[in-house]
Amino acid sequence: MVEARRGLRVAFQGELGAYSEEAVRLFFGPGAEPVPSREFRDVGAAVKSKAVDYGTLPIENTLAGGVGPSLDVLSDADLEVMGEVVVPIHLCVLGVPGSTLESIQSVLSHPVALAQCERFFAGHVQIRPVATYDTAGAALEVRTLGKSDTAAIASRGAAERYGLDILAADVEDRPDNQTRFLVVARRGAPRPPRMAGSGGRKSAVVLETANEPGALVKTLLAFAERGINLSKLESRPTGEPWTYRFFLEIDVDAATPNAHVALEDARKRCRMLRVLGSYDRTIGVAEAGGTPTARS
């Protein structure tokens, strides 16, 4: 993490107190202003309209997997991926003062957060999970409702911000629960300061193949034949029924000669290929207020 210049505005999905806000502070430092957005697509729109300088989007969680709506936003040709940060996720059940875990009948949270707490719900079958658009937004709604039978799953920071009690702490299925975020900007915008100690690079790519046997394999062979590791591959639907685009990450900077040749070869083997950006690889995580570690 480095100190961001004052006045730097960074969009994130959710309310203040969300883990996405924590990603902003971990990557950019306390000098940046986190700007809440209702939906993931609103983050992309704010970046494209120049209402903000950068945006953060959760790309995957170690328990719940990929975050599809973020992948869809990343496919926008006007956006460029410029960084990543990994945030530890420790989820708590938050209720209004005076409530108890035994009094709770429903728990609100983002669907991805709810999916990270399957063991908790298996052990509390009387509690009904209810999906909302954001963890911190769920905490705000619980405070607004003021009902002792309704709780939220969110962070300790959200509990403090919205004056809620922690009824159960660390309810995620595994203590090493983490979410990885990508930092986006308008294509060609100034690059954000790199995190101290970073060195390894990776690149994000989106591509579409013909709907025929072996099309994806043939495209990916362009990387394998040149010894380039593929660290992520996920499919997303396109605007045409039953056709898909693929989001992938390769463990190399797209500007290196070897990667350039591989990408040009892959481009010839598929319908469309676009490099979304190259950025420093984060290999460690930090608790709130700490510094993510990266390969040196």
| Cα torsion 217, 205, 110, 168: sign | positive
Active-site choice (56, 179, 209, 219) = 179
* Cα dihedral across residues 185, 197, 85, 231: positive or negative: positive
Catalytic site residue from 40, 181, 223, 247: 181
CA distances from 135 to 130, 213, 279 (A): 11, 41, 28
Residue 179: active-site member:
yes
Cβ proximity of 181 and 285 under 8 Å: no
Question: Catalytic site residue 40?
Answer: no
**DSSP per-residue string spanning the chain:** --PPPTT-EEEEEBSTTSHHHHHHHHHH-TTSEEEEESSHHHHHHHHHTTSSSEEEEEEEETTTEE-HHHHHHHT-TTEEEEEEEEEE---EEEE-TT--GGG--EEEE-HHHHHTTHHHHHH-TTPEEEE-S-HHHHHHHHHHH--TTEEEEE-HHHHHHHT-EEEE---SSSTT-EEEEEEEEETTPPPPPPPTT---EEEEEEEE--SSTTHHHHHHHHHHTTT--EEEEEEEE-SSTT-EEEEEEESS-TTSHHHHHHHHHHHHHSSEEEEEEEEEPB-----TTS---B--
Active site residues: 179, 181
